[in-house]
Structure 1
Amino acid sequence: MGINAYFIAPASVVPLLTDIYGINKATAGLAVSVPILGSVLLQIPGGFLMDRYDNRRLLFWALVGFVLTTMVGLIVTSYTTWLATRFTAGICAIFLFTMGAKVITETFPPAKQGFATTVFTASAPMGIALGQFGTPRLVNVVGFSTSFAVYAVVSTIGYSLFYSSTPTPIHSGSDVEPGVIRRVLTDRRIVLMSISAACSYSLYFFLNSWMPTYGVEILSLPINRAGAIAALVPIMGIFGRPGGGWLSDYFGTRRYVIVGAIAVTLPAFLAITSAPTLLIFALCLLLVGFVLQFAMGVYFVYVQELAEKGTGGTALAVFGAVGFSGSLVSPTVGGWLIDAFSWTTALVAYTFVGVAGIGATLLITRSN
């Protein structure tokens, strides 16, 4: 939860970020994109390590790296150097979040993996909601730089609880050969599912990155209130992600839960800028946040079902490298679309991204 709060935290204070560093919206979007870049670039080597070594030990060293990186972020003064610390934190996130989904699937029986995995992935929107809601308030109390370090403390508490409840080593118990890795990388179903995830994450991170700014600039809300309303998007994942997992277990299909979630989301997504009142605006965010995340939790269990036995970590890594690329480019591209064109143009463009996600999902053949 702490790492996700850290990732999204700058989005809730973009007006402060642009004032402090003298940058535009597209450049401010890099504050969210850069740590995701660090995570995406090393997903596949990280997945290889998760399949071969004790995941608890990997998690420990990732946490150490994350804490040290946030401490360095307290003392740097330039925007470029600050972005470098966030990039390093993103590398650590490979083990702080992706690994958890793999551990869950090795702990629960197949009939319950969908629900169990999506309950775990609900920690991500909880973290994003914490970052959206809490960062403006933390900035007022402890200052801009220190507010980000608070989330390292949250991650440390989470690791302590995890380690105390998991006394035995966790790994796949098999050596993954290079030929197997190549087959995972070229598996058409895994690639298509990862593309679908990239589209869903693009929609999700556009809203999480820019709705606080929309609230301030267009709706003339105070920054604290704008962040609180934008937090409706991630916080609904606490219910939406387990709901999607339960539905996919109950009906025995992952694919159509994903398709249905994106299809229901798009009309509400497109209606955001035409909402006549603040209440309707908030309801649109609530609906998108709830239904879209039906799909986002299911991805994590579906990709491992499509993978060969013993390659769950590698399959998750491929999913992360492709799927999280949507999160990577969305904040910066969204900022550019808003600056160069308009809010409406940006939302229309991202609606077409959602349609592409539906198409990719429908091309996936049925899994065993």
Structure 2
Amino acid sequence: MGESGREKDRVSLFPLLIASTTFFLSYYTRLTWSILSVYMPFHPTVTQDAHVFALYFLGYVTMQVPAGFFSDRCSGGKIISGAMLLLALSTFISGGATSVYHEYLASLLMGVAAGWVYPASLKLIDNYYRVNRSLYIGYYSVAWPLAIVASGFFLPPIALHLGWRWGYLLPGLLCLLFAVLSFPLGTESGPGKKINWGLLKDREVLLVSLGGFLFFLSYWSITLYAYKYFVSIGINHVLAGYIFSAMAVVGLFSSSISGPIIDKVGLKRTVVLSLLLYGLITAAFAWVFHWVWLLVLALVMGFTRFIITPGNNNILVRIGKENVGAVTGIANMVWQSSGMVGPLLSALLIHNLGFAWFWPAIGAVVLLSIAFYASIRL
């Protein structure tokens, strides 16, 4: 058993460092394929891109419910440690791949490993930082845009100067380090050992799950195809990486100030207004081609996107209460299943209609998600 949340707040920011860094690694390794596949000698096709992403999310999604329930009942640090070890193994397999079939296997294992990190790391935040929780959730959520920024800035130069394999091997070594560092961290056990299956049909859990599914369907489609789109319209590879990173760089700021914004404006209102702006900006990419204006759009997109992300985290903590791990697992299972559907639908759309229709269609999906978020009772 651990100390009370109030006492832990005074002790150390080490749990925040572990939670945010391991979440960063689980997300950064997910993004590597989006960029490194361009540099691989076996030249994966758009359809194979979609298959790699779909296999990742198949592994990720199947882990969410067990990860959520175990995070409420077991040591969060030990769960994260085991996940980091498996994540390291999967990145080493990717770095040593000689065909896309090796990447299929690595992607599935990577999804299984990363699937345990989000529920366990959010449980760490809830357990250690119960005072000013929304502030700490905002700091924790910085890991998300930071992963996108880091991937766009570092992966193209690493691939060009060291070789694409090092884009996988370096984060694998970091995973091993944080497997060791996270192991001692414990979390308080939840209510009993019995699984609360009623959470699967809870109204608020269903609404945030369905709204998040639509948001993340658009999100993963953009994440997978944005870099390739920028290259396809004539932007050079490194500059395209910077624009890709710009889709998140302002999120480093917006995530960190999301707590005060949510406290002042209101949680639901903040998320709904951000989704409205995010959907309109997404559609606008279809009519902008100069790199300067693409950069501006990407920066504004990043600001709104990473108000939504900590907003989602706050909703889960608010409605989950003592079952925050389980609620996170259930909602994230639905959210991330969009990673299997979105890339496949997007590949079909791009093949048949081209990128001109990709951006408006994805923007419309974001706007549709507002109906679900607006109905949540907090």
Shift of 1:158: 4.4
Q: Report deviation, 1:279.
A: 1.2
- Out of 204, 210, 214, the position equivalent to 1:199 is 214
Shift of 1:11: 1.2
Matched, 1:223 2:237: yes
CA contact (8 A) 2:243 2:295 kept: yes
Shift of 1:190: 0.9
**2:160 aligned with 1:140:** yes
Taking structure 1 as the reference length, what is the TM-score of the superposition?
0.89
The correspondence for 1:278, drawn from 291, 299, 308, is 291
Please give the per-residue CA displacement for 1:46-91, whole angstroms capped at 9, x wherever unaligned: 1111111111111111111111222233334231232111211111
In structure 1, the residue matched to 2:250 is 236
Matches within 5 A, 1:64-143: 64-109=85-130, 112-143=132-163
Going from structure 1 to structure 2, the CA distance change for 1:48 and 1:4 (only over 3 Å counts) comes to: same
Q: Secondary structure at the match of 1:44?
A: helix
- State the Cα deviation string for residues 21-40 of structure 1 (Å, max 9, x = none): 35421321333343232111
The answer for the alignment partner of 2:192 in structure 1 is: 175
The 2-side partners of 1:4 and 1:32 are apart by 13
What secondary structure does 2:93 align onto? helix
CA distance in 1, matches of 2:339, 2:118: 15
Structure 2 residue aligned with 1:258: 271
Equivalent of residue 38 in structure 1, options 59, 78, 84: 59
Residue in 1 that maps onto 2:19: none
User: What residue is the counterpart of 1:319 in the other structure?
Assistant: 331
Q: Distance in 1 between matches of 2:367 and 2:113?
A: 32
Task: Give the superposed CA RMSD.
Answer: 2.1
Q: Give per-residue Cα distances to partners, 1:116-136, cap 9 Å, x unaligned.
A: 112102102211221222222
- Please tell me whether the aligned partners of residues 105 and 301 of structure 1 are also in contact (alpha carbons under 8 angstroms): no
Contact 1:272 1:281 in 2 (8 A): yes
| Residue matched to 2:312 | 299
Return the alpha-carbon distance in structure 2 between the equivalents of residues 148 and 168 of structure 1: 27
TM-score of the pair, normalised by structure 2: 0.87
2:47 corresponds to 1:4: no
235-244 or 254-263, which moves further after superposition?
235-244
Distance 1:230-1:52 versus aligned 2 partners, 3 A rule: same
Question: 39-48 vs 193-202, which deviates more?
Answer: 193-202
Q: 1:22 to 1:72 in 2, by over 3 A?
A: closer
Structure 1 residues 71-114: Cα deviation after superposition (integer angstroms, max 9, x where no partner): 2333342312321112111111123333212211222235x222
For residue 263 of structure 2, what is the aligned residue in structure 1? 249
Alpha carbons 1:51, 1:176 under 8 Å: kept: no
What is the Cα deviation at residue 299 of structure 1?
A: 0.8
Separation of aligned partners in 1, 2:181 and 2:254:
25
Q: Structure 1 pair 286/158, CA: closer, same or farther in 2 (3 Å)?
A: farther
Distance 1:336 1:243 in 2: 38
Q: How many equivalent pairs are there?
A: 355
Tell me which amino acid in the other structure corresponds to 2:200: L
Q: 1:337: Cα distance to partner?
A: 1.4
Judging changes above 3 Å, is the alpha-carbon distance between structure 1 residues 2 and 242 closer, same or farther for their aligned structure 2 residues? same
Distance 2:323 2:286 in 1: 43
> Counterparts of 1:203 and 1:63 in 2: how far apart (Å)?
27
Where in structure 1 are there 5+ consecutive unaligned residues?
Answer: none
Deviation at 1:276, TM superposition (A): 5.3
- State the distance in 2 between where 1:151 and 1:15 align: 19
The runs of 5 or more residues in structure 2 that have no matched partner are: 1-23
CA distance in 2, matches of 1:139, 1:258: 37
Question: Does the CA-based 8 Å contact 1:200-1:292 persist in structure 2?
Answer: no
The residue number in structure 2 matching 1:28 is 49
Change (3 A) 1:329 1:239: farther
The equivalent residue for 2:15 is none
Distance 1:148 1:72 in 2: 9
- Give, in whole Å, the separation in 2 of the partners of 1:235 and 1:145: 25
Change (3 A) 1:159 1:115: farther
Deviations 1:235-274 (A, max 9, x none): 22212223333211234x3211110001112222111121
Provide the rounded CA distance (Å) in 2 between the counterparts of 1:335 and 1:241.
30
1:174 partner SS: coil
Q: Which residue of 2 aligns with 1:15?
A: 38
CA distance change for structure 1 residues 313 and 285 in 2, over 3 Å: closer, same or farther?
A: same
1:208 aligned counterpart, secondary structure: helix
Residue in structure 2 matching 1:289, options 284, 289, 302: 302
